[in-house]
Structures are given as structure tokens and as C-alpha cells.
Structure 1
Amino acid sequence: MTATTVQRRRRGISPWVPNQHGAWAMLISPAVLGLVAGLRAHLLIDAPSHRPLLVLPAVLVAWFFGYFAFFAFGLAAKARTRERRATYLPPVYVYGSISLVGIAVALLLQPHLLWWALPFAPLVAVAVGETLRGRARSALSGVSTVLASALLLPALTAVGGGAGAIDSVPAMIWLSMVFLALYFSGTIPFVKTMIRERNNPTYLRISIGYHVLAMLAVLAWALWSGSWMVGGLAVLTMAVALGRAVWIPWSARRGEPWTARRVGMAEVPVLLSACVAVLAAIFF
């Protein structure tokens, strides 16, 4: 162990830099896809104004800095001493203030965005409530965060369309949001079967059962959409996700060395396939 490693451990986790690397894919992917969908929607309207080009980055600032504040808040909530809690609070205030500025700018330019608080607020409340109860890594907290992230896709699409209204979002974008939510929600039980619940056969059955149901739901979406390319990519993604939910835990139980880093790297192709499926839905 190097001196640098020892110093890092003594200092503990930095509240200024989120260390949950697995959350970054869930945090960034829907935001990028939503930005692409929003820009495309902006280009397709008859008389585009400059406002969406200001609101899109404002929403992204609110999202990312809101997550940074939430991460630091989670550390403060589970701190055992008042002194340690005090070291975690500054980024909550700084990042939270920046996030509120982004929200204020977005609402000032597109007041209809206030309607998006109806689906977003309960999800955020659930995540915060689970954190205060000491269950920040619970499945309920993870799913609520995933749903909030997936909502960025239709929200940014609405922003790009000009008004930010919920009823302006095409049906295919809503279905793509559901697809993203199904995929990312599946990563929660899968990762738990490899780390915290690696020796729990009941949890493994739950993970596999979820992926089977998600696969059937995506197959129904593919048949409904009428687009073989979009539907085929979505089904392929969930088929691979189901396969890895079965095979990787199976191989780990037989001695295959699956570190957290290796599990994360194995997820990259599945994530890219999911993103390509959503991009196909946006453009085709």
C-alpha cells in the first residue's frame, strides 16, 4: 500500500467529487440523449427561438449540480459526528445553490417546465427520504433515481420543442424513456448479485425474474413501434442484459474473478447498445 493510498483513506471520501462510478452512466447517458433529442426537436420547429438553446444547458446544470449536492448530502446524513457532518455540508450549499440557479433560469425562460415538478418531485423525495433513513443504497432509492434520470429524455425534448410542455413530447420519446428506465433499473439488482448480495440465491432469482419481465415488456414495445431497427436494437439490448444477469453471477460462483471494475467494463457494451437504440428512436 502506497503512502498516497494511506493518506486518501485517512482523509475519507471527498464530498466535492462523487465516487459512485457506477452512477455516472445513469447520470450522463439520459442527459446526453435528452440533449440530442432536444436539439433535434428545436431544429424541427417552424420558427425556432433562442430560448431553448439557453434552457437546455440550464436544465443540465440543475441536474448535474443537483446530483453533486445530493451526493454530499448523503455523506452528511450518515456522518457519525457533528464535526464530520460539518465538513460535508459546504458542497451541499454550493452545488445546491448552483442547481437552484439553473432551475430558476429554466423556469424564467420556459415557465411551462414547472409542470415537470409533478413527476420529478416525488422521485427526489423518495431518494432523499431513503437517505435520511440510512438506506441510500436501497433498491427503492436506486429505482427512484433511475426514473428521475430517465425523465430527462422527455423533459429535454420538450425544452427543445420550444415551450417545455409535457404534452408536446412524442409517444416514441416516452417509450424510449420507459426503455431506459427498465434497462438502468435492471442494473441495480444485477450489481447487487455481484457485490452485496453475491451469496443470496433469492436475490439472484429476483434479478433474473426482473430481466425476463423487462425483456417481455421491451419485446411488446418493439412489436408496437413498427420500427424493426429501433425495436430490434432495444430487444437486443435487453437480451444481452438478461444474458449477463444469468451468466456473470453463474461464472462468479464457479470461481471466475469478477471485480467491481470488471463488472463495470462488461456493462459498457450493453450501455452503448441501449444508447444506440434510443438514438435510433430519436432520429428514425
Structure 2
Amino acid sequence: MAMRMNPWVPNQHGAWPMVAIPPLVGLFWCLKIWDAVSPADRGEGMHGTAGMVLTFLAVTVAWVVGYLAFFAGGILMRARNAAMRGRAVAPTLLYGAVAGLAAVLALILQPHLLWWAFVFLPLIAIAVYETWRGTPRSLASGVATTAASVFIVPVAATIGLGASNPVSGGVTWTSNLFTPKVVEALPSAVWVSFLWLLLYTVGTIFYVKTMIRKKGDPGWLAASQVFHLAALIIVVATVGVRYVHWAAWIVAVAVFAVALWRSRAVPASAAKGTPWPPKKVGVREMPLHAGVAVAAVMAALFYDGPLILFIG
């Protein structure tokens, strides 16, 4: 199968929503937080709006091109012949270099982003290790890559904070570099958006396995349904988080209720003989993925709570 792959163009179409949606949700949080920062506390130039825009673009490029590098690198690690390995070297190096340069630019503009290395490095290490050992579609790899993608939301939100005077002046390469205060300043509603996206995307790992690689496996089917039920309960419980808008919460609950229903109904229809090829499974997920993204964006747009930030 590897011989038919083009290492320059990923063929994992289901991964693209997980690549694209978190930066989009993060952009809304970034702008919302920047708008909430007092004008007196906003930076100027590369320490203000211009720097914020450039940093967000750099982080987005690092993430998207980093995914391309990971895909090509996966082919390079798994290739069983020299020809395929040779084809994968160039995209791995080029994509890796572009992603690395974009990450360095983001760190130069907002050094506080280096704090997120504590989150991303272990997740990326797990995904790379699972690919190296020949199990790129394992549950561990799926959860690690999914979590890494969703963490782009709080990362982008801290970019909005990074353009404020307290952060741009208080977090440099020689002062407070690993301070957690920038992360602690994120509104709890940001983490609710993160949680909704994380629960949904991890749920798709279980669901898709019950439809393709683990089709007909009663253990995986039970695990999928239990996870979706637990996810719905957790989402319902987020109603108690302050400043999470009721409309966003209703959309999220509706999405997870439908996801729970389809975690049982669709595998049941497949068991009765209804054809569910991988492409059909992926297409039918698009409305739900869009729905949870809309809920997360609404949480950002309708957020009207306080923003407290102190770096000292």
C-alpha cells in the first residue's frame, strides 16, 4: 500500500478536519481575548496586533505543515523498499524545515509559547513511536495526535494574551520564560471549547474502528458506546462552567446526543448488511464535526466574562 502513496499529499482525508478546525476555533478565541484586553494593556507593533497576527500565522503554518511532515515521515519510517524511502525523504525534510522555521518565528515573537513544549513533545513522541513500531493507527497514536491537534485551541488563545503589555513585556527569553501565568489567565470557557473538541474527536477514533478495522468486534462496540455516553454526560455537566453561553452549550449537547445515537445505530445498520465504506463513514461525520466546531466558536463569540492577567 505504501507504494501507492504520494508522500507529498496526505491520503488520510478524515484527518483534515482535525488539522483545520482547531486553528479556526483558536483564531476566534485569540481575537476575542485580544478584544477583551484593556486598550491600556495592549502592546504595539510586533508586541501588539501585528505581532499577534504574524504569530498566529506562524503557529498555523507550523501545525499544518508539521502534519504534512509527520505524514511523509511516517511513510519514510514504514517503507519496505529503498525506492519508497527515497521518495519520502524530500517531503519529510522540506515540510519539517518549513514547520520548524515557522515554530522558531512564533517563539521569537512570543517566547511564552515555549511553555507548550511540555504538552506537545510527549504527545508527538507517542505518535512518532507508534508509527516507528508499525502501529500508526493504534488507540495510543490516535489519542495522542488528536489531543495534539485540539491543544492548538488554547495555544492560539494565549497568542491573544501574548500581544498584551503584561506578557510581551514580562515574558522574554531571559525572564519568566516558563511561567504558567499566561496559561492560567485563559478563561475557563476556552478549556470548555477544548474539552468539547477533544471528546468528540477521541470519540470518532472509537466509532470509526467499529465501522472499519474493528467491525463486528463486540468489545470495541461496547467501548465506543460507553465512551460516547460518558462524553455526553461530561458535556451536559459543562453547563455549570461560568460564562459558557447557553446557546453554545445547547449546540454541543445536541451534537453529542446525535453522536451517541450514531455510535449504536450505524454499526447496527452495518451488521444488517447496509454498506458503509470508509468514504461514506467519513462524509457522514462532517456535519457532526462541523457542529462541535460551531459550538466551540459560539463559546468564543458569546464569551462576556472577565480577563485577568498579571505577569510579575
> For the residues of structure 2 that align with 1:215 and 1:33, how far apart are their CA atoms?
21
SS of the residue corresponding to residue 75 of structure 1 reads helix
Bigger CA drift: 164-173 or 101-110? 164-173
Q: Distance in 1 between matches of 2:123 and 2:93?
A: 21
SS in 2 for 1:144: helix
1:60 Cα offset (Å): 0.4
Match 2:33 to one of 17, 41, 54: 41
- 1:14-93 matches, cutoff 5 A: 14-45=6-37, 46=39, 47-48=42-43, 49=48, 50-93=50-93
**Is contact 2:2–2:84 with CA below 8 Å preserved after alignment?**
no
Counterpart for residue 172 of structure 2: none
1:259 to 260, 277, 280: 277
Could you tell me how far apart the structure 2 residues matched to 1:95 and 1:239 are? 39
Q: Distance in 2 between matches of 1:228 and 1:63?
A: 31
CA distance in 2, matches of 1:249, 1:227: 34
1:211 aligns with 2:234: no
2:220 matched to 1:228?
Answer: no
Structure 1 contact 173–282 (Cα < 8 Å) conserved: yes
SS of equivalent to 1:63: helix
Check 1:10–1:264 CA distance in 2 against 1; reply closer, same or farther (3 A cut). closer
Deviation per residue, 1:234-280 (Å, 9 max, x gap): 11111111111111000111111112121112112111210111011
Match of 1:198 among 215, 223, 236: 215
Change in Cα spacing, 1:148 to 1:206, as seen in structure 2 (3 Å) is same
After TM superposition, list the pairs within 5 Å mapping 1:91-102 onto structure 2. 91-102=91-102
Match of 2:297 in 1: 279
Task: Answer whether contact 1:223 1:231 (CA < 8 A) is retained.
Answer: no
Q: Distance in 2 between matches of 1:64 and 1:280?
A: 24
Distance 1:222 1:198 in 2: 35
Instruction: Please give the secondary structure, in 1, of the residue aligned with 2:241.
Output: helix
SS of 2:273's equivalent in the other structure is coil
Question: CA 1:86–1:10 in structure 2 vs 1: closer, same or farther (change >3 Å)?
Answer: closer
How many aligned positions are there? 276
Distance 2:277 2:2 in 1: 24
Deviations 1:27-74 (A, max 9, x none): 111111112221232233222512101100000010011110000111
Equivalent residue runs for 1:68-217 within 5 Å: 68-161=68-161, 162=163, 163=167, 165-217=182-234
> Quick one: distance in 2 between partners of 1:56 and 1:203?
39
- Give the AA of the match of 2:268: W
Higher deviation after alignment, 156-165 or 170-179: 156-165
Residue 11 of structure 1: CA displacement? 5.8
CA contact (8 A) 2:150 2:197 kept: yes
Structure 2 residue runs of 5 or longer lacking an equivalent are: 169-181, 303-312
Higher RCO structure, 1 or 2 (CA under 8 Å, sep 6+): 2
Q: Does 1:246 align with 2:238?
A: no
For normalisation by structure 1, the TM-score amounts to: 0.93
Deviation at 1:223, TM superposition (A): 3.5
Structure with greater helix percent: 1
Distance 1:55 1:178 in 2: 24
CA RMSD between the two structures:
1.6
In 1, the alpha carbon distance for the partners of 2:102 and 2:12 equals: 23
Structure 1: distance between partners of 2:263 and 2:233 = 15
Q: TM-score, normalised by structure 2?
A: 0.85
Deviation for aligned residue 1:227? 3.5
The one-letter amino acid of 2:261's match is G
Worse overlay, 214-223 or 52-61: 214-223
Residue 295 of structure 2 aligns to which amino acid in structure 1? A
Distance 1:23 1:111 in 2: 29
Query: Counterpart of 1:18 in structure 2: which amino acid?
Result: P
Identity %: 39
Structure 1 residue runs of 5 or longer lacking an equivalent are 1-8
